[in-house]
């Protein structure tokens, strides 16, 4: 067992019956639901290219343990070469989806790999937990499964801890221990792509306090486990819009969902952490599940930013405005922002460190800096597309208009771009741009970039506080220039 095909993935979707709610109804046939059809095809492509000689060596390897070919997301990174192999996988998957799908299978498969690789951490608390994550890693690696995750509590009252919410099981928590496992109840968000995945893993960002014990759990389950209800947000498209009119929104929408656990049984062998506030708070910082997937996020974000920047340049060129100085200034800024992220990724990959457990981790400062700046650079790219495209972004005729011969003459005349750019060429670029910068689809992509890795405000504050702590340990240049006699300047004024 090892790499699977797109058809294998689609067959798994067909055989599962998760309880998915969308627009007030239960979706009986996920595979044939128009809203999910195209995204399923996009994920299937990622499975298929594992078998394509053009990509295979870049994104898969032979597993030492089984001798089977498996995806590079399952590699325990021990060397710089391993990090490069992973980076190549992230880049190939991101290029296939233009960085617009954030939670392709590589993301969570890297999370699971990282947890399993660092199972020494769980060992300190409970040997069963570390065995469970190892077995789970082997299971998803060998069956090449696709996961979603939900690590945030629903936004009820953020001024209170989980155990202080109005009702005790608003945030997901353990109800009781059973012979077969633990019974869990309550909700967790925001599970991207949940309806079209195989499994879900639950863990949490740190933030538990004493009293939150019942909420301090981590586990994984099949997505169609009885009692697990998936409530989808309103779709950004209806699944019937044409690729001509919505070249991106018609293909790359990632559904997001709230997960409600109605007394769901988690078998003991799927429990990775339970009833332990300290372990739950340390899981994220200690098991590499911040840095390793942040490498994926960084590469994917780089491709998405580069794509948006190319769209901005094409919009400007197609209507002949890129000769104006202020437009060149804005486009130059965007091209440089792509270079900043590309350079940070190189630092992350080349200035890696091997920890005492033999795991290679990309440079965390470079990754954290990407996390800090992408949520500013990507919205800026979108804003620049909006200001360069201006009114024209709203004025594109539809595919049906193009197909009507009575209108076509006017369309060809009045919708053409600068010399050499036909009406169809210009309109197609503008429709692409509108999907990114105007449509609800594009607004979600923006929101994703701001929040996929947590609240950017608190992330920056945490980073600053870490810097301050380390800075105090090192020699301060300011103290040195003021106090070190070797560096004190001769006081020429008073001499």
Ligand X SMILES: Cc1cc2nc3c(=O)[nH]c(=O)nc-3n(C[C@H](O)[C@H](O)[C@H](O)COP(=O)(O)OP(=O)(O)OC[C@H]3O[C@@H](n4cnc5c(N)ncnc54)[C@H](O)[C@@H]3O)c2cc1C
The one among 105, 186, 293, 389 contacting ligand DHY by CB under 6 A: 293
454 near ligand X (CB under 6 A): yes
Question: Residues 417 to 446: which contact ligand X by CB under 6 A?
Answer: 444
- Residue 47 or residue 107: which is nearer to ligand DHY going by CB? 107
CA distance linking residue 364 with residue 459, whole number of Å: 13
Using CB under 6 A, which of the segments 287-295, 372-380, 423-431, 473-481 binds ligand DHY? 287-295
297 near ligand DHY (CB under 6 A): yes
- Residue 415 or residue 452: which is nearer to ligand DHY going by CB? 452
Known binding residues for FAD are 149-151, 155-158, 192, 455-458
| Burial (Cβ within 10 Å: 0-12, 13-18, ≥19) of residue 31 | middle
The one among 147, 221, 289, 423 contacting ligand DHY by CB under 6 A: 289
Beta pairing partners, 25: 22
Query: Which one of ligand DHY, ligand X, none interacts with residue 219, CB within 5 to 8 A by kind?
Result: none
CA distance linking residue 242 with residue 431, whole number of Å: 11
Residues 88-127 vs ligand X: string with x where CB under 6 A?
A: ---------------x------------------------
- Residue 76 or residue 284: which is nearer to ligand DHY going by CB? 284
Using CB under 6 A, which of the segments 30-38, 364-372, 399-407, 449-457 binds ligand X? 449-457
Q: How far is CA 416 from CA 173, 401, 420, in A?
A: 59, 14, 9
User: Judged by CB under 6 A, how many residues of this single chain contact ligand DHY?
Assistant: 11
453 near ligand DHY (CB under 6 A): yes
303 near ligand DHY (CB under 6 A): no
- Residue 149 or residue 215: which is nearer to ligand X going by CB? 149
The one among 27, 89, 112, 190 contacting ligand X by CB under 6 A: 190
Query: Which one of ligand DHY, ligand X, none interacts with residue 289, CB within 5 to 8 A by kind?
Result: ligand DHY
- Residue 299 or residue 315: which is nearer to ligand X going by CB? 299
CA distance linking residue 230 with residue 21, whole number of Å: 6
Buried b (16+ CB within 10 A) or exposed e, 102-122: bbbbbbbbbbbbbbbbbbebb
191 near ligand X (CB under 6 A): yes
Question: Residues 371 to 410: which contact ligand DHY by CB under 6 A?
Answer: 371
Closest CA to 246 of 436, 448, 44, 32: 436
Query: Which one of ligand DHY, ligand X, none interacts with residue 329, CB within 5 to 8 A by kind?
Result: none
Using CB under 6 A, which of the segments 63-71, 224-232, 263-271, 286-294 binds ligand DHY? 286-294
In the complex, minimum distance from the CB of residue 304 to ligand X, in angstroms, rounded to a whole number:
13
Q: Are 305 and 99 in contact (CB under 8 A)?
A: yes
234 near ligand X (CB under 6 A): no
Query: Which one of ligand DHY, ligand X, none interacts with residue 293, CB within 5 to 8 A by kind?
Result: ligand DHY
Q: Copy the structure tokens of residue 88.
A: 């190549």
In the complex, minimum distance from the CB of residue 391 to ligand DHY, in angstroms, rounded to a whole number:
37
CA distance linking residue 21 with residue 228, whole number of Å: 11
The one among 324, 350, 451, 464 contacting ligand X by CB under 6 A: 451
In the complex, minimum distance from the CB of residue 107 to ligand DHY, in angstroms, rounded to a whole number:
8
Residues 150-179 vs ligand X: string with x where CB under 6 A?
A: xxx--x--x---------------------
196 near ligand X (CB under 6 A): no
Query: Which one of ligand DHY, ligand X, none interacts with residue 458, CB within 5 to 8 A by kind?
Result: ligand X
CA distance linking residue 275 with residue 279, whole number of Å: 9
CA distance linking residue 226 with residue 261, whole number of Å: 9
Q: Measured at CB, which residue is nearest to ligand X?
A: 192
290 near ligand DHY (CB under 6 A): yes
CA atoms within 13 A on the CB side of 267: 9
The one among 40, 111, 187, 218 contacting ligand DHY by CB under 6 A: 111
Query: Which one of ligand X, ligand DHY, none interacts with residue 308, CB within 5 to 8 A by kind?
Result: none
Contacts with ligand X by CB under 6 A lie at 103, 149-152, 155, 158, 190-192, 256, 444, 447-448, 451-452, 454-455, 457-458
The footprint of ligand DHY (CB under 6 A) covers 111, 149, 151, 289-290, 293-294, 297, 371, 452-453
């Amino acid at each position: 067992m090892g790499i699977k095909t797109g058809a294998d993935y689609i067959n798994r979707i067909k055989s599962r019956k998760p309880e998915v709610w969308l627009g007030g109804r239960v979706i009986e046939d996920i595979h044939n639901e128009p809203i999910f059809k195209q995204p399923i095809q996009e994920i299937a492509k990622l499975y298929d290219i594992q078998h394509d000689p053009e990509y295979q060596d870049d994104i898969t390897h032979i597993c030492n343990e089984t001798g089977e070919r498996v995806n590079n997301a399952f590699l325990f990174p021990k060397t710089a070469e391993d990090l490069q192999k992973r980076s190549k996988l992230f880049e190939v998957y991101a290029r296939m989806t233009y960085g617009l799908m954030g939670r392709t299978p590589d993301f969570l498969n890297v999370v699971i790999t990282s947890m399993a690789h660092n199972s020494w951490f769980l060992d300190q608390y409970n040997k069963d937990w570390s065995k469970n994550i190892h077995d789970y890693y082997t299971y998803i690696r060998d069956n090449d499964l696709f996961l979603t995750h939900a690590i945030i509590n629903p936004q009820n009252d953020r001024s209170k801890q989980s155990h202080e919410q109005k009702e005790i099981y608003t945030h997901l928590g353990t109800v009781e221990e059973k012979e077969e496992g633990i019974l869990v109840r309550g909700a967790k968000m925001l599970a991207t792509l949940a309806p079209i995945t195989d499994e879900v893993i639950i863990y949490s960002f740190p933030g538990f306090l004493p009293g939150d014990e019942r909420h301090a759990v981590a586990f994984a389950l099949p997505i169609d486990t009885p009692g697990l209800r998936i409530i989808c947000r309103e779709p950004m498209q209806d699944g019937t819009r044409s690729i001509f009119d919505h070249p991106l929104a018609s293909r790359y929408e990632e559904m997001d969902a709230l997960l409600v656990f109605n007394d769901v049984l988690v078998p003991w062998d799927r429990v990775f952490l339970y009833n332990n506030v300290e372990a739950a708070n340390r899981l994220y910082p200690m098991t590499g599940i911040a840095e390793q997937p942040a490498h994926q996020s960084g590469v994917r974000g780089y491709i998405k930013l580069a794509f948006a920047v190319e769209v901005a340049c094409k919009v400007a060129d197609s209507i002949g405005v890129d000769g104006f100085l202020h437009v060149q200034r804005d486009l130059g800024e965007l091209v440089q922002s792509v270079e900043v992220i590309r350079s940070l990724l190189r630092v992350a990959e080349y200035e890696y460190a091997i920890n005492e457990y033999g795991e290679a981790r990309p440079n965390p400062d470079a990754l954290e800096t990407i996390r800090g700046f992408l949520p500013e650079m990507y919205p800026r790219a979108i804003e620049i597309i909006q200001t360069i495209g201006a009114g024209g972004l709203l004025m594109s005729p539809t595919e049906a208009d193009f197909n009507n011969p009575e209108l076509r003459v006017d369309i060809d005349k009045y919708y053409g771009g600068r010399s050499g750019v036909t009406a169809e060429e210009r309109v197609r670029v503008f429709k692409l741009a509108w999907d990114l910068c105007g449509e609800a689809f594009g607004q979600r992509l923006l929101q994703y970039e701001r929040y996929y890795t947590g609240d950017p405000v608190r992330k920056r504050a945490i980073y600053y506080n870490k810097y301050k702590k380390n800075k105090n340990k090192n020699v301060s240049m300011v103290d040195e220039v003021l106090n070190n006699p070797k560096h004190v300047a001769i006081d020429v004024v008073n001499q």
